Chain A
């Protein structure tokens, strides 16, 4: 009788590298798409509501509630209206990602010294110019931290989004776990979970660099 030794992790990656690479690309694409939408909508929401205390409370309250919905429940719920695949995954992740961005945008815009804002108006800047040239650049270091937190959150949840056919490495985790005990189950699970972890860490490092580059020099010096 011939015993076939199951491939170790390196052999598995080597054998499946094309499939894995496609999953990695899909994973990155999904997160970039979601984060583009989250950043745009979340920052816009923050900019629109920061001034009015009642709106701030309503908006952060709403996204906090959304944030507490169990992810699997929301994903399964979206299968009804949106089917399987990219669409329900993207929508669910966009909803989960809102809170950190909206909250940090509001906190950032509110933390700008009122004396600085008043000076800007008193120089004769129109309200939108004050926002664009003074308030937003000063709030940016806080806002980008919100985007970073949101991005890490989306990475975590994107794994689960594979459950509704979402793209990316999450599929490896789920099929690995589903076939537990079989030939390549451990390898699949490891490729999925380690892969996502590594990509997430690369993104996180990217954010550190991005924050440095995009923060005005006058704010970085001590």
Chain B
């Protein structure tokens, strides 16, 4: 993925007692939801379907108008600014993608810059830059129509469109949920890499806890009426679930999942390298485990040293005991 020459960094989002009540309903859909989302982080709202996580997210750009409460972005109260102005500074990606089928890929990506009245040359440049950023060759894809792209490619365009006017905030509602598992993992990894560069403030909604672990800098585990059961880093939530609801959501496989969160740089290695595959220090215990499951006897970690299956087991036990 290419470098962006300039990118607006994320802004902090503060949600204060956000409440949504639909007419003719006894219960609030979202009840007094308060959360601070630090600038430049990915915060994942995760919870069972119907818990109000999507409603909560959609109140941030006021696609759903809150009944009461306040939304502050970058310290500024935006609860009552004109919705269309607010939304032009917030990228939006949804599971159904929602590309405009009658417009070319180029025009789709150009939507917000056009609304903001950028000049044509600037827009064209920006479109090409973004398509390159999400891994689509502008020459090839700019003039195509959404129907001519695969689901995975369409969602790349969806992400490019959301980033077009370089917003500080990105809202994503199960954006990779409709793609096949292989494409999903690839998109997740690409998005993580992209975010490392862009440092937007991202609110990401999913019901898939695995996805929350993979992408979130922080995770908010939500239950009915968008009640915050726990808000913390993935490791905090895995190692120290705050309530029974969190525990049941984290599930039995927590310790196995944790392997994906500990990098090889954090464990003790046997000095020297041996004959066998090499992983980088950024790779996780899980990746090393997969090598052994695949029949390898030795896995080298960079040039620093190597692991055997026994030494990996020891490291895992050690990591577990630290967490427990």
Contact = CB atoms under 8 A, between A and B. Distances in A.
A138 B102 contact: yes
Interface in B67-90: 83-88, 90
A177 interface: no
B88 A124 contact: yes
Task: Give chain A's interface residue range (CB within 8 Å of chain B).
Answer: 20 to 34
Interface in B201-260: none
Given A124-B85, A126-B84, A218-B145, A119 B102 contact: no
Contact of B102 (A121, A125, A126, A137): A137
Contact of B104 (A123, A125, A126, A218): A218
Given A218-B147, A221-B145, A221-B147, A123 B101 contact: no
A126 B86 CA distance: 12
Contacts of B145: 217-218, 221
Contact of B148 (A122, A219, A221): A221
Given A119-B92, A123-B112, A125-B115, A113 B147 contact: no
B96 A115 contact: yes
B285 to A, nearest CB: 39
Q: Is chain B's interface secondary structure helix, strand, loop, or mixed overall?
A: mixed
Nearest to B82: A126
Contact of B115 (A123, A217, A222): A123
Given A219-B101, A222-B147, A121 B96 contact: no
A120 interface: yes
A218 B88 CA distance: 25
Contacts of A179: none
A123 B88 contact: yes
A124 B112 contact: yes
A219 B102 contact: yes
A118 interface: yes
Contacts of A218: 100-104, 145-147
A114 B84 CA distance: 18
A48 B105 CA distance: 31
Interface in B91-120: 92, 94, 96-104, 111-112, 115
Given A119-B99, A121-B63, 18 more contacts: A113-B96, A116-B101, A118-B94, A119-B100, A120-B98, A120-B100, A120-B111, A121-B87, A123-B111, A123-B112, A124-B87, A124-B115, A125-B84, A125-B115, A126-B84, A134-B100, A219-B102, A221-B148
The 7 closest A-B pairs by CB, nearest first: A119-B98, A216-B102, A124-B88, A115-B96, A218-B145, A122-B92, A124-B87
12 contacts: A113-B96, A116-B99, A119-B94, A120-B98, A120-B111, A122-B61, A123-B112, A218-B101, A218-B103, A221-B147, A221-B148, A222-B147
